[in-house]
Amino acid sequence: MRWDQGHESRDVIDRRGERPGGGGGIAGLLLWLLSRTKYGWIIGLLILGFVVLQRAGLFEKQPETRGAQVEDTEAHFVAFVLDDAQQFWEKDFAAHGWPYRHAKLVLFTDSTPTACGYGSAATGPFYCPNDERVYIDLGFFRTLSSQLGAQGEFARAYVVAHELGHHVQKLTGTFESAQNGHLQGPTGGSVRLELQADCYAGVWAHSADERHLLETGDMESALGAASRIGDDVIQREETGRVRPESFTHGTAAQRERWLSRGFTTGDMAACDTFHAPTL
């Protein structure tokens, strides 16, 4: 994919490296402990001042490790995909006479608080409709490549575009209707909701291809990722058997089909999974 490798975004919130609860809780604990000594309040104020200055970025950071540099490149990539996709949806919504609100994307490490409860890297990337934010631990991209076998840069772009697809569903009212059970379809709302997000990712990819951002093999990379994270594939690898009644995202074939449908048509109207007789 052709992209700006130093891309910054106003819609990205970087929480990487933050510990749950933040530095304020630690400072408070130290202040309480040191207040028990004769001059504890003086030492406590010095520590509090250090914490404030550190969080303000006034202390020189340690040189980045190679792993940190890789993550920074991935962060720039995620920011580029987010901004490009949101610019596309902003124009597409405007063409329909709809307002578009930008989602935020939160980069985090291991776990982070969200308006939908505590988020964990173990669950993979996710969208929280309550705060209209996408949450990603960049470590998932290594899992996607090494453990799930989904290779290629555009596989990561597909993941970001899929989660942003849920934001599109939030803005159109589809997300709420599905969560409330008003849009079920023959096989339930969850699978159809996820497949529609796949289709929306394909619609954006169609636009990116028209603007000559895609390179040879990019779409194949995204389709490969979709096939590797199908419910049937994951269940078979984890437990040795497939239980269709517990599907939440759809089979590998279904995910490939709807991603491809969005890419082929470039039209969000073609992504109505809730009224499709078959998936």
Confidence of residue 49 (pLDDT cuts 50, 70, 90): low
Does the structure show a pLDDT above 60 at 63?
no
Does 155 score more than 50 pLDDT? Answer: yes
CB contact set of 235 (below 8 Å; sequence gap of 6+): 241, 242, 243, 246
Q: Tell me whether residue 162 is exposed, middle or buried, using C-beta atoms within 10 angstroms of its C-beta: 0 to 12, 13 to 18, 19 or more.
A: buried
Region 121-140 average pLDDT: 95
* Of the candidate ranges 16-30, 35-49, 57-71, the one whose mean pLDDT is the lowest: 57-71
The Cα–Cα gap between 27 and 115 comes to 25
Residue-wise pLDDT tens digits, 19-36: 765 444 444 434 434 444
Measured CA distances, 233 to 115, 203, 230 (Å): 31, 25, 5
Q: Is 14 helix (H, G, I), strand (E, B) or coil?
A: strand
Q: What is the pLDDT of residues 190-242, one digit of tens each?
A: 899 999 999 999 999 999 999 999 999 999 999 999 999 999 998 998 899 99
From 261, 223, 205, select the one nearest 1 (Cα to Cα): 205
Q: Is 243 helix (H, G, I), strand (E, B) or coil?
A: coil
Q: Which residues are CB-neighbours of 257 under 8 A, at least 6 positions away?
A: 279
Confidence at residue 39, expressed as pLDDT on a 0 to 100 scale: 54
- For residues 180 and 152, the model is more confident at 152
Percentage of the chain exceeding pLDDT 90: 62
**Residue 111: pLDDT over 80:** yes
* Least trusted range by pLDDT, from 5-14, 81-90, 161-170, 171-180: 171-180
> Does residue 224 contact residue 152 with C-beta atoms inside 8 Å?
yes
Task: pLDDT band for 54, please (50, 70, 90 cuts).
Answer: very low
pLDDT for residue 202: 98
The model's pTM: 0.81
The continuous run of DSSP H or E covering 182 comes out as none
Say if residue 97's pLDDT is above 60.
yes
Contact in structure between 155 and 225 (CB atoms under 8 Å)? yes
> What mean pLDDT do residues 79-101 have?
97
User: Rounded distance, CA 123 to CA 133, Å?
Assistant: 15
